[in-house]
Amino acid sequence: MGISQSTGLEEGTVGAGRRWAMLAAGTSAQAASAVMTHGPAFLIPSLVDREDLSLAQAGVVAAAPMVGVMCALVAWGLVTDRVGERFVLLTGLVATAVAGVAAVHAPGVVSLGVLLFLAGLSAASTGAASGRVVVGWFPPRRRGLAMGIRQTAQPLGVGLAAATMAAVADQHGPYAALWVPVVACAVAAVAVLVVVLDPPRPAGGPAAAPNPYRGDRYLPRIHGVSMLLVVPQFLVWTFALVWLIDDRGWSPAAAGGVVAVAQVAGVLGRIGAGQLSDVVGSRMRPLRWVTWCAAAVMLALGVAAGLESAVAVPLVVLATMVTVSDNGLAFTAVAERAGPFWSGRALGLQNTVQYLVASLVAPLAGLAVSRLGYAAVFALAATFPLVAVALVPLRDERALTQ
């Protein structure tokens, strides 16, 4: 069965302009959620200085929204499969903004962590729903590029957080910096309300759709690859800023600027990987290439950081670009294989396993850095993509239809 037969796509039901507008709205929704989910990582220096936390303790607070996301992704995916994308996006974004306002006024770090966890529960809504909007409205010949653009939401959100939240936290404290994701979620909710429509689905309903996990190793292997590749990605995302401040002596504003530039590079990486997958007619071949590159760049970053070489700074930018380039490829492949009545849950599971690993990266890497240093931890992260190369299910991939 070709991919286009399993998506429920009826391309002619809306114009091309509306499809691209929905892509923009879905991307903004995911970006706003990324600001809330990953932005607290840029509060770590302020939490250590102002709240007298250790690096590991601050990492736990920073990981709280990711834990919340991890706990809710499959549930939001099920709601998306049953109710629709528009409802889920609107409900989740509004609830995330409300939880963010409460976090701004939290009386202490414990309550801050709890409220960030609740914000993560709500922010998880955009993971499956915005991806289904793209897969539902774009045909296979354009879907790699479209999903690559949608996947730029995460680095765009992280870049916005890096450019703003670190500086605000340095001047006004970590709580005030949380107004950034609150405003982002409110703006994204308005965009979704104005332009997003639920994509059409084929006749037959959920009862006619077989479980895509039954007797098929393709999806579990993609999940495994993504779990492994999350380690270097979130290591760089979480600790690049702190490394520049602690080891390089940069100011928080200057370090945040470098991280923001790195996230722009990540945007280009995701778009390029998605377009490449459309051109070569495969999601898995580019995924394997990206995996090899991730191993090489993390090893090079570790060596350069250990030597205190000036090239380490551009390498951290390159590492940020490479380590995020796999996400759109894996996300698209999962949605295509799962089909319209299972893709919400499959994408929810895909994101869950990624966030399961990501939520452990900040506290465990914080402990490792305290004992081994940044250079050694960067270099050790190269082992994870090396293992992932063998798991990429290249032989199990089906040909893309046009």
For 278, the domain range is 13-200+216-389
Q: With cut-offs at 50, 70 and 90, classify the pLDDT of residue 5.
A: very low
Q: Is residue 355 part of a domain?
A: yes
Other residues' Cβ atoms within 10 Å of the Cβ of residue 330: 23
pLDDT digits (tens, 9 = 90+) for 380-395: 999 999 999 999 998 8
Q: Could you tell me if residue 136 is inside a domain?
A: yes
In a domain, 157, yes or no: yes
* Cα 22 to Cα 1, 25, 27, 171, 221, distances in angstroms: 27, 5, 8, 37, 30
Count of domains forming the chain:
1
Average pLDDT over the chain, rounded to an integer? 84
Question: Is the predicted pLDDT of residue 8 greater than 50, yes or no?
Answer: no
* Residue 402 maps to a domain: no
pTM, whole model, 2 decimals?
A: 0.71
116-168: pLDDT as tens digits: 999 999 999 987 777 777 777 787 777 778 877 887 787 788 878 888 898 89
What pLDDT is recorded for position 356?
82
Per the domain annotation, does 47 fall within a domain?
yes
In a domain, 2, yes or no: no
Asked whether residue 86 is assigned to any structural domain, the reply reads yes
State yes or no: pLDDT of 308 exceeds 50.
yes
Q: Which tokens go with 119?
A: 């914000």
Q: How high is the pLDDT of residue 1? A: 30
Does the pLDDT value for residue 71 go beyond 70? yes
Query: Does residue 396 lie within any of the structural domains?
Result: no
CATH number of the domain that residue 328 is part of? 1.20.1250.20
Residue-wise pLDDT for 184-235, tens only, equals 999 999 999 999 888 776 655 555 567 788 878 889 999 999 999 999 998 9
CA–chain centroid gap for 168, Å, is 23
